[in-house]
Chains A and B, each alone.
Chain A
Amino acid sequence: MKKEMNTIVSLSLVGLLTTLYSCQTVKNGGKVVDASKREVIITSNSDPRSALPQGERDSAISRSRQQLEESLGLNSRDVKALLSLAELQLTQDLLNEAESTCRKALLVDVKNTDAQRIMAQISIRRQNYKMAMIFLTALGGEDSKDSNVHNMLGLIAYNEKKSSEAVRLWKQAVNLNPSDMSARMNLGVIYLKNKMFQQAGAQFERVLKVAPAHQDAKLHLAIVDASRGNHDQAITAYKSILAQDSSNELALFNLAVAEKNSAQYDEALAGLKRLIKVSKSRSATTDAAFALIEEINTLNNKGDKISDDELQALASELAKRPVGKVLPKQTTVNASSTAKASADKSATQPAGKQVAAKKQPMIADPDTDAKNEASASDRDIEALERQLKEPAH
């Protein structure tokens, strides 16, 4: 399975928000451009359940990547372009390609800190934290003035089960750069995991001030709202997220929770059913979905929202699927080593067939399955068409 990266485009803001607001441009979809800095910042998360726009489906990113590749064909020593390309490859989870690109940049500018930062990010994505530490140490470690370094140190600490240390580092990050959305999101999420809703909410709200369309901030702020009993508000938020990405598991599940809490059992069950269908493998999410269905059925005391037979069939189908993990996501790194190879592979292997092989209908619903199938095929065909229409490298 190809891992999908979730990304968001936002503005790089270093310094006071009030200062930056004066020169930023907020675009639909959460894109914020700071023309004065001539810089775009893309936030991504390795968790596939994230509601951030998926980098690989972001045509702007793909097209920009291709254009950078073309540009580098003309001048392969353009460090700036190399780094931009590596960043985009990273956002699309093309880690091998990103590393290769980054190394090229280093060969030109061996002391390039951005290249080292990207290498660190790649290492983190690969969960090679010791290697990441080498880069981060080279970048100054905790003495660095770059909030990204602190953010990554926080991620390493978190993955080493040092949550307190992670929080400390992320706090350092946001102290250095109050607009560091990645650090704030990490901070908010870890607060949320530890049920510190107020602190979490504060982080998400800060993120949304910078990037009002930040889907993950919205999603998690909805949880905070729910924790405060604002279920309707949460439901609205979840639905708006699903309007952007109808298969987002977190939004589907959390919406079901909110609807359950609002006694909208049918809606909750329908959402959960859909969640299970769109799930590509058995996971903690699907387990939680089943548990929630049971709970709702109990609450509803009807049990006809989803029949036992249906449930049995659902479970049976799910049991046949490989056991998947939410994390680490890196285990599903794209096998192709380069974007070109990926394109070649896609070209030689029918996308529809690939999707069909992965999809195992859990509930017999030929119409729905056919639609999904068609939908998936259409997407792949369009991608192929785009690729074929683009100029050859």
Chain B
Amino acid sequence: MFRGTVSATSISMLLMISILLAIRPAALEAGSSARALQSKNGKLAAPSKEDGIDYFSANRKDVSPEDAKKADGLRIKTITSINALLSDKKNSRNEYELTLRLGELQVERADYLRDLEIGEYLKNHDKWLATDDAKRSKTPPAANYTKSENSLYQAAQTFRKIAVKFPKHPRSDTVLYSLGRTLSRLNDDNASQYYRQLIDNHPKSKLIPDAWLALGELHFDKHRLKEATSAYQKVMDFKTHRAYPYAVYKLGWCFYNNNGSQDKSGNDNLEKALAAFQLVVKLSDKQKASNFNLRDEALRDLVMVFAELEATDRAWTYFKGIGEIDRFYSMLERLGGMYADAGKNSKALDVYAKLVSESPTRKNNAQIYQKMVGLLDISNRFQDVVDTVKTMQGLFVAESTWSRANQDNAKILADAKMITERTTHRYGTMFHSRGQKIKDKKLESLAADIYAIYLQSFDKMAPAYDIRFYLADIQMDQKKYAQASANFIAVAKQRPKDGKYTKEAALNAVDAVSRWVQAETFAPVPPPGQATSPIDIPKIKKIYADTLDFFVTLLPSEQNGLSMRYTSAQIYFDYGQYPEALKRFESLARDFSSTKQGQASARVIIAYYNGKTDWRNVIEYGKKFQANKAICQDLQIKKFIDDSLRAALFNSALAYEKAKNHSKAAEAFLEFQSLFPSDGNADRALYNASLNQFKTGDVEKSLATQQALLTKYPKSQLCPDVTASMAETYQALAQFAKASDMYKRFANTYVNDKRTPFSLYNAAVLQRGINDNRGAIQSFTEVYRRFPSHNLATAAMLESATLSEDMGDLVAASNIYAAFGARPDVKNTDDGLFAQAKSIDLRLSADAKNLIARKDLTKLITSLKAKNSPNASGARAIAAKILFNDQESSVRAFKQIHLASVKDIEQQAGQKQGRLERLANAYQEIIGLGNPEFAVASYFRLGELHEDFAKALFTVQAPSDYSPKDASDLKSQLEKSAFPLRDQAYKFFETAYTQSSEVGSLSEWTQKTYQKMSSLAPNKHPEMPELISEPGYITSKIAISDATERLAH
């Protein structure tokens, strides 16, 4: 098939586009006379006049656009120059040559411009093709030959000009030919006139064959085959002329196009055409290179003619003979087509089968197979259709002998693949539709097979989406649930957002797997929540769960999804995949709280953790669900959650406690109380919480919790224990005021509790510790008054008395001591005797002459001195002190007895001696009481008395009238008495000091004693005025740590 001046490459491209889109460039076709012949005869188009011109024109095939442009530039320059010259009259003698050249240049420009115009057209057409359907104009772009035609018009004008101006010019034949050809290209019938003028007027012109050929072309284009045949045949007279082969070739076409009758004449014309083309083949060996290969054209046309003649064997012989076997196959293809056109399907199929069998790697086998499929379908050989489609897939999609043979031609490969895709698509949908229409399951099955073939090779193609859905639909109908669900899912996945089948496919997938599951039998599962380890979910059920998940994920807002979520979760739960199942149930409970599924999910979760005694999770979820009003709308669920949470909290707390995680235990107990303040165990929970807080060292919290218990549950049986505990804790924390308050509260609130006296006593001790002495007295008093028989009563009395004494309430103190001392149970004990002594002491302090007190003192001393009398050191100390103090006035009196004069010295010394003896007896009695301090004091006083007596003797002044001797004798005599007294004094002091040291009785008397010893024997007992620290040493222990390590260095 020829085109105008378009290059072979462009033609090829254009052809392909036309084939692919079944759209011919209208503008191009408009300029082609061949189309008319084709449409008329349904045959291949013959070469047009432009093709002929092209054939004879200079070969532009290998000229680059740049060079062409450059050439055109030169051309324009030349045209300009010529025009300039023509305007210059000085060059008139060259006018003919210049004008002829100008015309030729204008024709050349027309050729060049036409090439550009075609190029531009192709470019626009490609662009048009590449535009989206929606945006693309309905009318394809048209070719615009205005510029080239204008140039031709200019050329025609130029040629006309010289033809007119120089009719006699020796080269006017050239002008006539050029003018005729130019007009011919412009479809101007006048061209024949100029050709005829040439032929007629220039019989010897070298252009005569050309003129005949041109004239034949003109007729051929005008469908005047007879005139054309005649004109071509004229050319055959010039066998050596270059127009000869072409004229033969066109002659062949004239015969071929003239075979309309089916009779012998028709076959004759075909045989002539056959001959013409075969001649051309032979002649073409001598042909020069041109813009197209006349041999090739002729061989192609031979195929056409052989086919028309159904001369298969002849064709085989011919083509094989000239080494062009491919032409034979082309012929076969053509023949097949002809059979098909004629409804000879079986024959066509045989020819095609022969063709693909004998030429398995032929480039356009895909088209052949495509035709075969169509023929098989028409022949109702549906299974063969499927098989052939499959064969196509194997040949043109997968790697094959064919694909390897054509691997260097990507376009051929792509075309074949596309044809296969289209064929597969077409027949799949056709069979499906047809099968549905006539309810032919077998046809539907075949459709499914084709669909499967399609998807196997073209799953990325746009139609794959629909096809997969169709396939799944058929599979569903065929109860192939696994495949159906897989394909439905694939469809839904492919275009999840805008797919027209998304929802339907997803639902169908679920339906398919559901049916699949129902059709199967499964091993029993453990009771709910009791799987000891995860069980492998049966494959089908896993697929079911996955499909449900897929649906939910894909269409989260679909109402159907809710039950699917629950079912999916239940599958995991059934097979002991608890983490996954619970996660799903939790999601349901959270996100769909108000639904049955959400509420049921909450219940499943709680029940599961209940079963596992996983209190932590029961609590966590229980609280979460409890706070979810939507879930708790279902009262049964709410009760279940409440009950579970209540039990879990308490059990959890107990578990924490058992694990010694007291902090957690406390939290859990508190939470229990907080959530269930009216529960019967709420007070117990608080109590337990406080105990655990205590164990964690969070004492303040523990106390606060206990206080809360007392406040919130004042009637709780735990209150006494809590109160006591709080009191003890406050005491341990050294918060004595609070502790004593708490003890008192206990004593006042729980009067019959056996701890009450202790509590009161403790309160008193603590009150005393914080200097609340009156309060302490009151509390102590309360102890022994409210609980007179209690062990603490006596101690309380003594403490009360002591405090009263400290407070200066001596009467009260005395009375309490007396009362205590009179108690039969303690009367003869150390404490009893001490109290009696204290009572006596206090009474005597108030009134030293208190006779009763004195009488009591005597009685006491008798008791203390009695055989087997108790130790009663306290009583002894007091009694000794009383007795000692009783002697102090006598001591003073003794000291005031001065030996003032010799005259009275005996009397005075006698008095002093008498007092000394009495005092010595008294001190002896005191010493006899066995109190170390007052024994030492007594010895001190005895020493002091003796010292005083000695001093008195030493200081007696001799009367003034005494002679010195008398005076000396007197002094000597007195000293004899004084020295022993002083020695005795030292001995008493020494005894006191020794006793003090031996019994460890240190007091002021010890120090006074040493002073006396020092004064009496300074060398033996130096004065020692050195200063000494006060006792006050205490010890601090510091553990060595990183912080304190420096202390160790």
Contact = CB atoms under 8 A, between A and B. Distances in A.
Given A80-B1041, A91-B1036, A135 B734 contact: yes
A119 B1001 CA distance: 30
Query: Which of B1032, B1037, B1040 gathers most chain A CB within 10 Å?
Result: B1032
A376 interface: no
B1024 A164 contact: no
Interface stretch (A42-50, A307-315, A335-343, A379-387): A42-50
B174 to A, nearest CB: 114
B1000 A47 contact: no
A216 B694 CA distance: 43
B607 interface: no
B659 interface: no
Interface in A322-347: 326-327, 329
Interface string B1007-1049: 1001000000000011011111111111111111111111111
Contacts of B694: 110
A39 B1038 contact: yes
Nearest to A68: B1043
Contacts of B1037: 12, 39-42, 87, 114
A193 B1041 contact: no
A110 B734 CA distance: 9
Given A31-B1048, A106-B733, A189 B1000 contact: no
B699 interface: yes
Interface in B856-882: none
Interface in A70-109: 70-71, 77, 79-81, 83-84, 87-88, 90-91, 102-103, 106-109
Interface stretch (A246-254, A262-270, A350-358): A246-254
B1033 A43 contact: yes
Given A31-B1047, A84-B1038, A155-B1032, A288 B1025 contact: yes
A377 interface: no
Contacts of A363: none
A106 B734 contact: yes
B990 to A, nearest CB: 12
B1002 interface: yes
Contact of B1034 (A9, A128, A152): A152
B1002 A39 contact: no
Contact of B1026 (A33, A167, A223): A223
Interface in A195-251: 195-196, 199, 216, 219-220, 223, 226-227, 229, 249-250
B1002 A194 contact: yes
A107 B1026 contact: no
Given A12-B1037, A84-B1038, A131-B770, A111 B732 contact: yes
B910 interface: no
Nearest to A71: B1043
A171 B1000 contact: yes
A278 interface: no
Interface string A137-174: 11000000000100110110010000110111001000
A220 B1038 contact: no
B697 A77 contact: yes
Contacts of A80: 1039, 1041
Interface stretch (B210-218, B501-509, B761-769): B761-769
A188 to B, nearest CB: 9
Nearest to A99: B734
A110 B1035 contact: no
B1028 A189 contact: yes
A77 to B, nearest CB: 7
Contact of A182 (B729, B732, B1035, B1039): B1035
B1002 to A, nearest CB: 4
Interface in B808-832: none
Interface in B728-780: 729, 731-734, 736, 765-766, 768-771
A192 B1028 contact: yes
Nearest to A61: B1047
Contacts of B932: 164
Contacts of A131: 736, 769-770
Contacts of A254: 1026-1027
Interface in B660-703: 694, 697-700
Interface residues of A, number: 105
B1007 A47 contact: no
A107 B698 CA distance: 6
A106 B769 CA distance: 18
B478 to A, nearest CB: 74
B769 A134 contact: yes
A90 B1029 contact: no
A292 B765 CA distance: 48
A134 B1029 CA distance: 27
A250 B1029 contact: yes
Contacts of A288: 1025, 1027
B1029 A166 contact: no
Contacts of A155: 1031-1032, 1034
Contacts of B1040: 33, 38-40
Nearest to B1040: A38
B701 to A, nearest CB: 10
A320 interface: no
A107 B932 CA distance: 45
A56 interface: no
Contact of B1007 (A79, A194, A199): A194
A133 interface: yes
A67 interface: yes
A134 B1031 contact: no
Contacts of B1039: 38-40, 80, 83-84
Nearest to B736: A134
Contact of B1033 (A44, A107, A164): A44
A250 B1027 contact: yes
A257 B1033 contact: no
B1028 A220 contact: yes
Interface in B972-1002: 993, 996-997, 1000-1002
A60 B1040 CA distance: 12
A195 to B, nearest CB: 4
A167 B1029 contact: no
Contact of B733 (A107, A181, A186, A285): A107
Query: Which of A80, A84, A158, A191 gathers most chain B CB within 10 Å?
Result: A84
A109 B1034 contact: no
B1006 interface: yes
A42 B1044 CA distance: 12
Given A131-B769, A134-B769, A45 B1046 contact: no
3 A-B pairs with the lowest CB-CB distances in the bound complex, closest first: A67-B1043, A87-B1036, A182-B1033
Interface of B: 694, 697-700, 729, 731-734, 736, 765-766, 768-771, 932-933, 993, 996-997, 1000-1003, 1006-1007, 1010, 1021-1022, 1024-1049
Interface of A: 7, 9, 12, 27, 31, 33, 35, 38-47, 49-50, 60-61, 63-64, 67-68, 70-71, 77, 79-81, 83-84, 87-88, 90-91, 102-103, 106-111, 114, 116, 118-119, 121, 124-125, 128, 130-131, 133-135, 137-138, 148, 151-152, 154-155, 158, 163-164, 166-168, 171, 180-183, 185-186, 189-196, 199, 216, 219-220, 223, 226-227, 229, 249-250, 253-254, 257, 285, 288, 292, 326-327, 329
Given A12-B1037, A41-B1035, 19 more contacts: A40-B1047, A43-B1035, A49-B1027, A79-B697, A84-B1038, A106-B732, A110-B694, A116-B734, A119-B734, A134-B736, A135-B734, A151-B1035, A155-B1031, A183-B1033, A189-B1033, A190-B1031, A194-B1002, A194-B1007, A227-B1024
30 contacts: A27-B1048, A41-B1035, A47-B1029, A50-B1029, A67-B1042, A71-B1041, A80-B1041, A81-B1041, A87-B1037, A90-B1034, A106-B699, A107-B697, A107-B700, A107-B733, A110-B697, A110-B699, A116-B732, A134-B736, A148-B1034, A151-B1033, A164-B1000, A168-B1000, A193-B1002, A194-B1007, A195-B1007, A199-B997, A226-B1024, A227-B1024, A257-B1025, A285-B1027
